[in-house]
Amino acid sequence: MKVTTETSNSLTSKFDRSRELKAFDDTKAGVKGLVDAKVEKIPQIFLLPQEKINETTNIHKDNFTIPVIDLEAIKKGSRFHEEIVEKIRYASKTWGFFQVVNHGIPVYTLEEMMSGVRRFYEQDTELKKKYYTRDVTRKFVYNTNFDLYGAPTANWRDTFFSYMAPNPPLQEELPEACRDIQIEYSKQVMSLGLRLFALLSKALGLEPSRLFDMDCAKGLTLLGHYYPACPQPELTL
């Protein structure tokens, strides 16, 4: 046991987290790059502490029912409209979020947006690298974990985000792989946002235009997450 402990301590002492983070970040290939390289063991920067693994495992044993609000009912009259407002009030107060269905965004648009995200991440690495940055002032930012250098553990996830309103990027500032659908999807979400802010205003007991007048519907940031297959999913998030 003594030999094992000394060996473990020796390995731990040799692990330079800052150096490993920078080496990974400098590849500009993200987690997808590790998968493409066919790694069989995830790097130590992604390993969750045992207590976190236990906590995550226990969470998965619970059954959660996320509030789902059907916006189609609004068309059925004022009584149904008030019921939706009440559901939004309850979900916002109790959960802090809710899911909407029958929201008016075409299924094709939703599916094409997901396809656009996949196209971006699954294109040639050299094409993606020019968008890899930690400069959050850029209109389109792609990297792995925005808090890579500050979080205790990295998540097995790549992300891009883009500021789509109030000052949208020029077309040429967006990747060709997802450019057109990103613009169209953002328009649809902004339109839905106006409807939701009106409902949220009423749920707060305010005039329907109150949150809109406060510019709450003015900005939009779009995020596209990518979770490539992990060789040791039980050890990371």
Confidence of residue 9 (pLDDT cuts 50, 70, 90): very low
Is there a contact between 159 and 143 (Cβ–Cβ < 8 Å)?
A: yes
The pLDDT of residue 35? 96
Confidence of residue 3 (pLDDT cuts 50, 70, 90): very low
Least trusted range by pLDDT, from 7-16, 100-109, 136-145, 182-191: 7-16
The pLDDT of residue 10? 45
Taking the C-alpha atoms of residue 144 and residue 139, their distance in angstroms, rounded to an integer, is 17
The pLDDT of residue 5 is above 50: no
The pLDDT of residue 59? 60
Confidence of residue 14 (pLDDT cuts 50, 70, 90): confident
Sign (positive or negative) of CA dihedral 94, 219, 177, 161: negative
Output b/e per residue, 85-117; b: 16+ Cβ within 10 A: bebbbebbeeeeebebeebebeeeeeebbeebb
Mean pLDDT of the chain: 90
Confidence of residue 64 (pLDDT cuts 50, 70, 90): confident
* C-alpha separations of 32 from 24, 91, 158, 228 in Å: 12, 36, 7, 6
Task: Note the pLDDT tens digit of each residue in 101-126.
Answer: 999 999 999 999 999 999 999 999 99
Domains, the chain, with CATH or none: 14-64+107-235 (2.60.120.330)
The pLDDT of residue 6? 38
Task: Note the pLDDT tens digit of each residue in 121-178.
Answer: 999 999 999 999 999 999 999 999 999 999 999 999 999 999 999 999 999 999 999 9
